[in-house]
Amino acid sequence: MSAVEAALDRAAFNADGLLPAIIQQEGSAEVLMLGWMDREAMRRTLTEGRVTFWSRSRQEYWRKGDTSGHAQYVRSAALDCDADTLLVTVEQVGVACHTGTRTCFTGDPLEVVQGLPPAD
């Protein structure tokens, strides 16, 4: 069994056959976006060097950048401790968000109460 097949077998896809994939910029660790992958999208991502997602709304595969030119080139990938989330480190070319922003997390900052760690 290949390393890719072993990783696909370890991945804990949800009831819909999907796995959340966090996309992170190489070097800066900036979180760019979250997308969904089924087994085939994960296989393509791990073997083709470009990030591929499963579009839940269109019910089809889409490779980031094929229409926009804003591609994501895979640098590394890791499953989390429960194997139910994939982290993909990429070299992002252009913006990551379909709205035209660098990341999908820049347009709606929320107010929070900041927690403090216990004093020693």
38 annotated as belonging to a binding site for a ligand: no
Strands annotated E in 30-98: 31-37, 52-55, 60-63, 72-79, 86-92
Bridge partners for 16 per DSSP: none
- CA 66 to centroid of chain Cα atoms: 16
- Strand 19-25 and strand 86-92: pairing? parallel
Extract the tokens encoding 100: 């035209």
Where is 23: in which H helix or E strand? strand 19-25
Residue 81 marked ligand-binding? yes
- 3-class SS at 86? strand
80 is in an annotated binding site: yes
Residue numbers belonging to the annotated binding site for Mg(2+): 80, 82, 84
Residue numbers belonging to the annotated binding site for Zn(2+): 81, 97, 104
Residue numbers belonging to the annotated binding site: 80-82, 84, 97, 104
